[in-house]
Amino acid sequence: MLTDTTTTPVYELTKPDKKFIGWHIFFAVTALTIGSLFGPLQALEHAGVDLYPRLDFLFVEFNGVNSYYQGLTLHGVLNALIWTTFFITGFTTLVVIRGLKRPLAMPLLNRIGFWSMVAGLVVAAIPLLGNKATVLFTFYPPMQADNLFYIGLVLVVVGSWIEGWGFMLTLWRWRKENPDTKTPFIVLAAVINVVLWQVATLGVAVEILALILPLGFGWVSGIDPQLSRTFFWFTGHPLVYFWLLPAYISWYGMLPKQAGGKLFSDSLARLAFWLFLILSTPLGFHHQFVDPGVPAGWKYVHSLLTFGVGFPSLLTLFTVVASLEYAARKRGGKGLFGWIRALPWGDGSVTAQLLAGILFIFGGIGGVANASYNVNLVLHNTAWVPGHFHLTVASAVTLSFFGICYWLVPHITGKPLWRPQLALASSWIYFAGMLIFSNAMHTVGLLGAPRRVPLGLAPYVPSEWNGHLFRVAVGGSIMWVGLMLFVVVVAVTAFQRKRLPEGEHIDVPVAESLDDPNKAPAWLDRWKPWLIAMVVLIILAYGPQLIDQIAGIESTSPGFAP
């Protein structure tokens, strides 16, 4: 049997809570399924195989070029924004309830939040599917989508805030009830991520509410595109940590248990999360290294701060690998690297996350290049960039979420995982496709191939790119097969009639730590100093530029339809 089956659950979630979490996963996986349809179409287009004309029924306003960008917009919005946000809020609900062994403080609040996210998704889907919001997932002004697109996004973000307030309130109640106990690591980490999200999304909230919608409603005649970018990227980088930290929660706090071991260091895991909280936001200019309206000095400062956030990432690498090594040696693993073979590679949930971690090492190395101020000149807006973030959000995050789903769906449905061998195969296939795809994307990017271009139509593609673009198509298609296997396994698991045998139960894997969490220093369980540090760092890193750019606002750009 895959993962842990016990007869006496440590803490049983209520049926309505399980159902509530299930709705999150349902919308998340549905978004991923639709969004990913376009992945292989884009990849094949690069290799000269344009399937869009055969799929014109998918697009309201058919036209060969149109559908590429519309598909790319759907791919980015549904995969990067919707799949992640819905999965993460659902997973956080589970982590908070199970970690605190306590129901949500105000379940209604969380339900209001969730259904406003769903409402936002529906509202945004109308212009997206109608080709009225083909602005890609960065929606840079003065290109303008239908107002409904932005209103939908606002509803999704506000809904996620409301759910977040529900999580914070629950933790706050629990701390009142348990004044002498340290917050369990997974809950502390999950709520840190919630707080990070609330702060990070302020940027895009200001961008949409103060700049984009006033133009959209015709209250003003123009917009300042540079200022919009600065607000967007205030959110844009911590956004990737919002995606990544739930995977880290699993790697630190769950995977060691699944592998038969313990978390190597509870204190350092907590420290890493606090550092992510304070360091994830004040470095957004590293996405704007080649923007004309940001002074080079501030770009340099943000480059250094980006190296700073590399530190908790390296801490994570050590602690996660050490925890896995501990588990493997307990299972009889030997040798300097030989222990790796002793990990439970037969378990689809564990394997998905191990492969996610391996891909993320390459993602991290590439990320250092992106962060490096002037090295970025040869990478910016090339195919390297999507090559990079497919190793992060589409591997470290998505493949880990696959692994989590392989125990989470049985846990909340009370049904056994359908065909565990297919679950295992899905991760390996996705992994193999990703290796080919991302390697080709990085390489062709270094040769100068731009991102966001239907290269099959571009007149400037030299023949030396063709071999790499062919590998993009092969890798992208293989990835899609792995992803569809995941969808099928999870869907059949959830909707099958078969249930787990009476009295059998799949518990949430929560790892104990080798060190006693209650002996950890008190400053690792105190919010105030870290929140102050976060605010101070943001003011120092962003304050002067925000004041300058806002004071110098020039709203001279009228809107343009895509």
Partner 1 sequence: MSTPETTHESMHVDPAERAWIRTSIVVLVVFAISVTIAGFMLGIQVPTTEQRVNPQTIQDAPPWSEPGVREIVAGEQYEVYVVAKRFFFEPNAIELPAGAEVTFYVTSTDVQHGFSIRDTNVNFMVIPGEVSKLTTTFDEPGDYPYICTEYCGLGHAVMFGSVTVTP
Report 311-370 residues binding partner 1 (CB under 8 A): 311, 314-315, 318-319, 322, 368
CB atoms within 10 A of CB 466: 15
Angle at 358 between CA 355 and CA 359, to 5 degrees: 90
Among candidate residues 75, 237, 270, 442, the one labeled active-site is 237
Q: Are the beta carbons of 433 and 483 closer than 8 angstroms?
A: no
Q: Between 263 and 292, how does the x/- string for binding to partner 1 read (CB under 8 A)?
A: -xx-xx--x----------------xxxxx
Dihedral sign computed on CA atoms, order 402, 405, 410, 415? negative
Among candidate residues 111, 329, 331, 451, the one labeled active-site is 451
Q: Which of 11, 172, 460, 495 binds partner 1 (CB under 8 A)?
A: 460
Q: Which of 12, 177, 464, 554 binds partner 1 (CB under 8 A)?
A: 554
Least CB distance to partner 1 at residue 367 (A): 11
CB atoms within 10 A of CB 49: 14
Determine whether 237 is an active site residue: yes
Q: Which of 374, 414, 498, 539 binds partner 1 (CB under 8 A)?
A: 374
Among candidate residues 149, 241, 276, 486, the one labeled active-site is 241
Least CB distance to partner 1 at residue 322 (A): 7
Determine whether 505 is an active site residue: no
Nearest one of 235, 191, 199, 193 to 100, comparing CA atoms:
191
CA distance 324 to 340: 8
Looking at this protein, which amino acid is placed at residue 74? L
Residue nearer to partner 1 on the CB measure, 71 or 420 = 71
Residue nearer to partner 1 on the CB measure, 67 or 147 = 67
Q: Are the beta carbons of 512 and 257 closer than 8 angstroms?
A: yes
Q: Which of 9, 16, 53, 295 binds partner 1 (CB under 8 A)?
A: 295
Residue nearer to partner 1 on the CB measure, 66 or 198 = 66
Virtual torsion, Cα 451, 457, 458, 462, nearest 10 deg: 100
Residue 198 in contact with partner 1, rule: CB under 8 A: no
Q: Rg (Cα) of the chain, in Å, rounded?
A: 23
Determine whether 286 is an active site residue: no
CA distance 498 to 487: 18
Determine whether 442 is an active site residue: no
Q: Which of 22, 48, 103, 308 binds partner 1 (CB under 8 A)?
A: 308
What six digits make up the tokens of 339? 């222990």
Q: Are the beta carbons of 405 and 504 closer than 8 angstroms?
A: no
Point out which span in 166-174, 185-193, 206-214, 306-314 binds partner 1 (CB under 8 A).
Answer: 306-314
Task: Provide CB contacts within 8 A for 321, sequence distance 6+.
Answer: none
Least CB distance to partner 1 at residue 52 (A): 13
User: Rule CB under 8 A: which of 120-179 touch partner 1?
Assistant: 136, 140, 142-143
What 3 state SS string does 57-119 have?
A: HHCCCCCHHHHHHHHHHHHHHHHHHHHHHHHHHHHHHHHHHHHHCCCCCCHHHHHHHHHHHHH
Residue nearer to partner 1 on the CB measure, 122 or 314 = 314
Residue 53 in contact with partner 1, rule: CB under 8 A: no
Residue nearer to partner 1 on the CB measure, 33 or 306 = 306
Residue 60 in contact with partner 1, rule: CB under 8 A: no
Helices assigned H by DSSP within 102-146: 107-129
Helix 147-177 and helix 84-100, axial crossing angle in degrees, nearest 10: 10
CA distance 523 to 177: 20
Residue 390 in contact with partner 1, rule: CB under 8 A: no
Q: Are the beta carbons of 149 and 121 closer than 8 angstroms?
A: no
Residue nearer to partner 1 on the CB measure, 57 or 560 = 560
Q: Identify the H or E element spanning 505.
A: strand 505-506
Looking at this protein, which amino acid is placed at residue 276? F
Determine whether 389 is an active site residue: yes
User: Rule CB under 8 A: which of 228-247 touch partner 1?
Assistant: 229
User: Rule CB under 8 A: which of 468-527 touch partner 1?
Assistant: 515, 519-522, 524
> Phi and psi dihedrals of 276, rounded to 5?
-60, -40
Point out which span in 163-171, 193-201, 392-400, 443-451 binds partner 1 (CB under 8 A).
Answer: 443-451
User: Rule CB under 8 A: which of 61-120 touch partner 1?
Assistant: 63, 65-66, 69
Least CB distance to partner 1 at residue 194 (A): 25
Question: Judged by CB under 8 A, how many residues of this single chain contact partner 1?
Answer: 75
User: Rule CB under 8 A: which of 207-226 touch partner 1?
Assistant: 224-226
CA distance 188 to 203: 24
- Residues identified as active-site: 237, 241, 388-390, 451-452
